[in-house]
Amino acid sequence: MKESKIQKKLIDELESKGYYVIKLSVTNKNGIPDIIALPKGCSAEFYEVKTTTGKVSALQKFRAKEITNHGIKIKLYDGEEKDIEF
C-alpha cells in the first residue's frame, strides 16, 4: 500500500475520533512528522501571517473558523497580533 493511502487511512481514523488533522507537506524544519492531530480544546495556537496590507482570503477565513470551532486559538499577525474576522 502506498504511503499516501496509509496517511489517508490514519487521517480518516483520527478525524472520526474528533481530532483536527493537518497533513504537512512543506515545513521550515526537516524531519517534522507528516501529520499533526489536535484534540478538541488543546492549547495549540495557529498564526496567519500577513503584511500590513495583506488580506485574509475566503479559504483562510474558512480554515480559521474550522480551527476556532475546534477550540483551538488562531490569530492574524502583521507585526501585531489580531483576531481574524470571519
Query: Does 67 have pLDDT greater than 90?
Result: yes
- Average pLDDT of 52-72? 94
Taking the C-alpha atoms of residue 76 and residue 6, their distance in angstroms, rounded to an integer, is: 33
Query: Is the whole-model pTM more than 0.85?
Result: no
User: In sequence order, what E strands does the chain have?
Assistant: 20-23, 35-38, 45-49, 73-77, 81-82
Q: Which three cell numbers stand for residue 71?
A: 477550540
Share of the chain above pLDDT 70, in %: 100
